[in-house]
Structure 1
Amino acid sequence: MKLSKKMFYKIKRLIPMMGLAGLTTLPIACEDPEQEAELLAEAKRGFPGDKDSTTTKTDTTNNVSVPFSTHEFTQIFGDELVQYIQTFIATIETQAKDSTVDTIYMVPNGNWEDVDKIGIFRIRDLFLQPATEISPKVHGRGDFNFKLGEATKTPADSLWFTEKGWTINKKYHGIPRDIEIKFNRDNHIPAITNYIPYFTNDSTVRAIYLVPEGHWTDFNHYTIPSFRTFLQQQVELSPKIHGRGDFDFKLGEASKVPQDSIWITQQGWTINKAYQNNQNQK
């Protein structure tokens, strides 16, 4: 079996990261010729003892489906799990070398509703991403019903899944929902830019509201214009994106940059609303 050094490195990381019991050392090569021949034979005919894990071809399109399920990540451990991953990768490599195969689809089966944000990252990093890097023929197909709310906690991984062809919690698609992306004065750039790509591509999201938190009293007429430019770049990414909430800029500063202040309020935000309310009550 010829597996890349990268793949063995990934597998060796599996133990400390996933906390699997009973596995202290991992093989870095198939030193036993008989074992190697047996694994290659298993790769050609599918995964042993798993009827759902055989590859299937469609004659008209020359596509191949390679199924996998959550069972392999929750019910098998140690050497058995390592061998499963090696065999899965070997199957992908075998199909990728087949000149008659146009596309290889990795298809998730079973129930994934117990998988949280850490599990989502590990499935991508240790298992699926190495497989997609074998050949441009390799793509994702099918749906992961991850634990609700967890995919949004790891937007970079979730975006990767959807870009490769999988969907996430598709059964909830079509149920419109509004999303709030909360940010503060210190984290506003990563908090907004990390989440917007994922939500703008989610067909279930009807509106995305950017909601400021905390105090913004150190923002003055020098910093408000550049901040407005950043916000405008985000809002223009999608008609779904709107403002919500209040900016308590340094008093008197917003009036010095009226065009920026007007734009901010036109998007749905308010400026120094608490101060205005106090003035109205006098």
Structure 2
Amino acid sequence: MAEGRIIKALSGFYYVKSNDRIYSCKGRGVFRNRKITPLVGDFVEFEESNPGEGYIMEIKERTNELVRPPIANIDQAIIISSAASPDFSTLLLDRFLVLIESKEIEPVIFITKIDLVSEDERQKIEAYQDIYKNIGYAVELISSKQQDLLPELKHYFTDKISVFAGQSGVGKSTLLNVLKPSLLLKTAEISKSLGRGKHTTRHVELMQVNGGLVADTPGFSVLDFNEIEAEALSNCFPEMKEVQEYCKFRGCMHHKEPKCAVKDAVERNEIARFRYDHYLSFLEEIQSRKPRY
């Protein structure tokens, strides 16, 4: 029995990397019976049946997993937002942040195409950058001039398993091509008629980039909170999580309750009002969803 990590899943085959060799493996029927699907990123035990081929016998416990893209054991999610085409949106960025925080994955924020906006617009985005940095997030503003990217970004990937997240058209594949030109990932122009990028990435694969592994994944278009309970939402906002123990009522939802430490922090400008407004909007969305049986 050997151990390795699934680095690619395609057409029912799982490509397991073990000691610098790649084995093409099938999952055992027992996984199907137990409704377990091996995921890219899984640590597994496998048995070699022929040279370079084998069967996955066991999947090790996961530290985390995502459904879209289907991937496990991620260290960090690099959220790609763009300053232009599509325009920068704190609402969309906060949706990604909440989803990633809910999975206990560390977010890193890259804002691309910063050279394509006016000076006024740039200053607004830099003000947002300061707010997110004060919360504790790493935030990089990235020019569309490719040669500017390399030195400042490489250290983010070393010894980490990273997943890229961001709406279509923000430049995820372009960024990976710059970080590792040998990948030659297909990039799509923004579809002008739809105002969004065409999906160019068809399967999940972990690739060696700057001393780490990166999954290139499709752009998300649906970002729902179906797996987040209303009571857990404030834990996905680190600046709220920090002060909520001082709320008068246990289980405070930071909405209509009196003597709420979160609302007090918003009034004192210690929590950005736009972040609190997004919290209320997400809370309403979660509370109004249909119950599942």
Fold match by TM threshold 0.5: no
Greater RCO structure (CA 8 Å; 6+ sep):
2
TM-score grouping bracket, smaller chain normalisation: under 0.3
Taking structure 1 as the reference length, the TM-score comes to 0.24
More helix by share: 1
More strand by share: 2
Taking structure 2 as the reference length, the TM-score comes to 0.24
